[in-house]
Amino acid sequence: MTAPIITVTGLTMGWDDTNLLEDASFEVERGEVFAILGGSGTGKSTLLRHLVGLDAPRAGAIHIEGVGTPSLEVGRPSYGVMFQSGALFGSMTVGENVALGLTAWTRLPPAAVDAIVRAKLRLVGLAGFENHTPAEISGGMKKRAAIARAMVLEPELLFLDEPSAGLDPVSAVELDELILTLSDALGLTVVIVTHELESIFKIAHRCIMLDSKTRSIIARGDPRELRDTSRDPDVHHFFNRTTEDA
């Protein structure tokens, strides 16, 4: 049994004078797809920002790979992050966006960087789009390019914020399959923030569910088991919606 890749202990976080989550603890195991669930305003994306070190917790600790609360010092990142909007740099081409990590943090010759970038873009279904600018591609394509950028340095840990939100059903299914394949083939640990429940049942091994009323984690475990066995009315309602959608 290997040590968890992420350990969160007694985390309290929030905005201004409001706490979104209080004294929350959970662990993410190596190689799993871990979903952070909850309705709008429960702090899913805020929790992700804390996990990647963009925001500091009010109390508690976050350990990634055994190292304390993540900080964003300049240096080669140990994990990849895909933001909800993709957050591609508009002044660069799609290829340059993906190549950025390689050119900054490796000593690969330009031709090798180009080869890897082309392979990564093909992997996410964007073959031939190296010289397009972000403004020239659709929202779904931006998200896929952002995943390619996030995984270009071969991190063991990938954070994805609402990857399939706003995508058409076919693109969403393709993205789910890509995430599953990445996790399976490369052994990636994927932490995913989403409320696309169809997607969660398909790809997540485990999940936690945040609740804004109690400011706590009200459910944790295999999402399929939670759907079938949870007696908590909020959890039941949340997953019942899934059953209807699925």
Partner 1 sequence: MTTWPKAEAERTRAFGIEYLDTGAALEVRLAGTLALADAAALWRELQPRLHPSTHEEVRLDLSGVESIDGGAMALLVQTRWDLETAGGRCEITGASPAVQKIVDLYQSHPPADRRPPPKARSAVEQIGNATYEALLEVQLVLAFVGSMVLSMGGVLRRPRTANWREVAHIMNRTGSDAVPIVVLINFLIGFVMGFQSAVQLKQFGANIFVADLVGLSITRELGPLMTAIIVCGRSGAAFAAELGTMKVSEEVDALRTMGFGPLRYLVFPRILGLVLVMPILTLLGDLVGVLGGLLVGITSLDLTVTGYLIETQGALHIWDVFQGLIKCGFFAIAIGVVSCQQGLATSGGAEGVGRRTTASVVTALFALILVDAGFTVLFHALHL
Q: Which residues form the interface with partner 1 (CB under 8 A)?
A: 90-91, 93, 95, 106-109, 111-112, 115-116, 118-120, 122-123, 125, 127-135, 151-154, 181-182, 184-186
* Cα 96 to Cα 77, 88, 89, 148, 165, distances in angstroms: 18, 10, 9, 11, 25
Smallest gap from Cβ 186 to partner 1, in A, equals 5
Smallest gap from Cβ 11 to partner 1, in A, equals 31
Listed in sequence order, the residues at least 6 apart from 11 whose beta carbon sits closer than 8 Å to its beta carbon are 21, 23, 24, 25, 47, 50, 57, 59, 60, 61, 62
> In this complex, which beta carbon is closest to partner 1, that of residue 57 or of residue 80?
80
Smallest gap from Cβ 155 to partner 1, in A, equals 10
> In this complex, which beta carbon is closest to partner 1, that of residue 49 or of residue 120?
120
> In this complex, which beta carbon is closest to partner 1, that of residue 61 or of residue 112?
112
Smallest gap from Cβ 105 to partner 1, in A, equals 10
**Number of helices and strands in the chain (H, E):** 8, 9
The 10 Å Cβ neighbour count of residue 216 is 13
> In this complex, which beta carbon is closest to partner 1, that of residue 122 or of residue 236?
122
Residue type, 77: P
